[in-house]
Chains A and B, each alone.
Chain A
Amino acid sequence: MKLIYEKSKPGRRASSLPQPGLPPAEVPEELRRSSPPRLPEISEPELVRHFTALADRTFGVDTGFYPLGSCTMKHNPRVNERVVGLPGFRDLHPLQEEDASQGALELMWRLQEILAEVVGLPAVSLQPAAGSQGELTGLLLMRAYFADRGEGHERREIVIPDTAHGTNPASVTMAGYEAVGVKTDFRGNVDLDDLREKVGPQTAGLMLTNPSTLGLFDEGIEEITKIFHEAGALMYYDGANLNAICGIARPGDFGFDIVHFNLHKTFSQPHGGGGPGGGPIAVRERLEPFLPVPAVVREGDAFRLDYERPKTIGKVRGFCGPFGVFVRSYAYIRSYGPALKEMSEVAVLNANYLLARLRDAYELPFDRHCMHEFVLSGRRLKREHGVTTLDVAKRLMDYRFHPPTIYFPLIVPEALMIEPTETEPKETLDAFADAMLAIAREAAEHSELLKEAPHVRPVKRLDEVRAAKRPILRYLFGEHDEPEGSDEPRELEAQKGA
């Protein structure tokens, strides 16, 4: 398929702009554009066809089952798209006078109250733009808190389990802390003996996802809380897996001091091919003074932005955060009310059902009921038939499913992390399980079907090695090669392992 630049023809144009009929105003010569950017020159019909063709070659939740672990690919309600497009939200300037933005301020305030209730922590900031940014904000809050108490110098370390998302250690570095790893035991819980050795006066806090990326609720959570609070450290909850426990348990109640939400996971903001998202945080009372500025506050019947916050860590993003994301999440939560609990219950039911159907054909590293997701190992298939989890994933595409997360968490070899979410019908779960079982049989009988998969997508398996060795990161116009399918199949540069 051609790039939009390859469809460009000089003189063609889609846009029309007002012509005010004024004499031209010029930019001083030394600041003037010397050669125009080579943007596409195409008409509107071609523009629409081009992006339609691109959409046809993209698979979304709208297209089919998308069981990526820890991503919570649930259905994105269409009513949310309608309300976010209301002109009073869509065309509102963020620096509009507060009196003329009361609807927006009230929506944010109400969302804050709701999120506080869901996790059991009273003070909320909606500002962070995504989960990772929520993590960083939480860590900066820890820094500010301990500095304020004169303990900033000693407390330099954050403890992170070996099952953590990569964002956790990356955020730790960006906050100027040092990451200390703690092991996971055979039940899938944090190893408490290892933990006791790693926590002390040098510890600022813990970052934990619970349920973990193994889909398991840490059975030792009460003891973990004790260990950290006795050391005077703080507990940070990575809310990526909140979909499992809404209305059932609250991180604020089981000892956490800071929580971040992923509005694009639990609260239905569409993933958009990679973003946008929203990463609000909720904190305990004593951390409230450090929250980003401005705060959204209520004064009687009116809602205001409070900039007078002397202990704030500052600002992590422009304005109040990604407002359009708040509108969707607020609408989503108002659609459920207290029945958010049922959302989580069905998420857990769906995951356990798939686990029951798949546990024999694949290896289940932790023999427990799971929460909203579970991890299988493809190790047996590799040992017995030489096919990898990567091959299984590519073959699932031929069955018209998006593959689950693969090779994560790192502690499970040949990992497949599966999260169906609560919006899937039973028929879809069964079709997916049937496909996984068929693939396990194919691994034994026709392994080349897996190794050469996918067969039915717009492209066959892509050469990621070549992309890394010879980076081509933009269209090079006159110098760009145009491979548009060759007649003889190419030998793929070898890809091994993960």
Chain B
Amino acid sequence: MAAIETYPDELKYHAEHDWARIEDGEAVLGITWFAQDSLGELVHFEPPEPGATILKDEPYGEVESVKAVSDLISPLSGEVVEVNQKAVEAPETVNEDPYGEGWLVRIRLSDPGEADSLLGVAAYKQILEEQ
């Protein structure tokens, strides 16, 4: 049911197991394969409101499995433009396709320079080794 373990090369990563896909001053955010595997099948996604401001390294929402709840830590700062309703209505989508259909929010970046401090796939995989 869940995806096989992958970490796409073209994404940027955050040590708290979140990814960002950056395009034209906006970023799509989600959680990595490792995060969804640790939590187990998700039963609930508590998103921010569209229009809300979220900040780099701060929590912007929550995901829950049966036995655990986890803050979603934002890799970047910005304004929430869109929330993925599919993730809200069928949270298991995040387990099945964490980088595609299981995206969580799209934001307009307030400081595109922040992307420089994010990790590339090799650096993120290094962190996973150390878990």
Contact = CB atoms under 8 A, between A and B. Distances in A.
Interface string A373-417: 000000000000000000000000000000000010000000000
Contact of B43 (A407, A465, A497): A465
Interface string A460-477: 000011011100000000
B44 A495 contact: no
A498 interface: yes
B44 A497 contact: no
Contacts, number: 40
B38 A497 contact: yes
B110 interface: no
A55 interface: no
Interface string A3-18: 0000000000000000
A193 interface: no
A494 B1 contact: yes
Contacts of B92: 493
B84 interface: no
A496 interface: yes
A494 B67 contact: no
B37 A469 contact: no
Interface in A121-178: none
A407 B66 CA distance: 13
B41 to A, nearest CB: 5
Nearest to A390: B67
B41 A493 contact: yes
B32 to A, nearest CB: 15
A498 B40 contact: yes
B68 A465 contact: no
A465 B43 CA distance: 7
A484 B3 CA distance: 33
B interface residue count range (under 10 / 10 to 19 / 20 to 34 / 35 or more): 10 to 19
A124 B107 CA distance: 56
A162 B95 CA distance: 29
B53 interface: no
Q: Looking at chain A's contact residues, is the secondary structure mostly helix, strand, loop, or mixed?
A: loop
B39 interface: yes
In this complex, which of A407, A494, A496 has the most chain B Cβ atoms within 10 angstroms of its Cβ? A496
A495 B40 contact: yes
Given A407-B67, A468-B44, A497 B1 contact: no
Interface string A66-79: 00000000000000
A498 B43 contact: no
Contacts of A493: 1, 41, 92
B118 interface: no
A493 B44 CA distance: 15
A497 B2 contact: no
A176 to B, nearest CB: 21
B68 A494 contact: no
Contact of B41 (A407, A467, A494): A494
Given A465-B41, A465-B43, A495 B2 contact: no
Interface string B1-45: 110000000000000000000000000000000000111110110
Contacts of A407: 67
A494 B37 CA distance: 11
A496 B37 contact: yes
A498 B67 contact: yes
Contacts of B40: 465, 495-498
Contacts of B66: 464-465, 467-468, 495
Interface string A471-496: 00000000000000000000001111
B53 to A, nearest CB: 24
A407 B2 CA distance: 22
Contact of A498 (B1, B64, B68): B68
Contacts of B43: 465, 468-469
A310 to B, nearest CB: 42
Interface in B50-70: 64-68
A497 B66 CA distance: 10
Contacts of B95: 494
A467 B43 CA distance: 9
In this complex, which of B1, B65, B91 has the most chain A Cβ atoms within 10 angstroms of its Cβ? B65
A393 to B, nearest CB: 13
A498 B66 CA distance: 9
A496 B40 CA distance: 5
Interface in B66-108: 66-68, 91-92, 95
Contacts of A494: 1-2, 41, 95
Nearest to A467: B66
Contacts of A498: 40, 67-68
Contacts of B65: 465, 497
Interface of A: 407, 464-465, 467-469, 493-498
27 contacts: A464-B66, A464-B67, A465-B40, A465-B43, A465-B65, A467-B66, A468-B43, A468-B44, A468-B64, A469-B44, A469-B91, A493-B41, A493-B92, A494-B1, A494-B2, A494-B41, A495-B40, A495-B41, A496-B2, A496-B37, A496-B40, A497-B37, A497-B38, A497-B39, A497-B40, A497-B67, A498-B67
9 A-B pairs with the lowest CB-CB distances in the bound complex, closest first: A468-B43, A497-B40, A496-B40, A498-B67, A464-B66, A494-B1, A469-B43, A465-B41, A468-B66
Interface of B: 1-2, 37-41, 43-44, 64-68, 91-92, 95
Given A465-B41, A469-B91, A497-B68, 8 more contacts: A407-B67, A464-B66, A464-B67, A494-B41, A495-B40, A495-B66, A497-B38, A497-B40
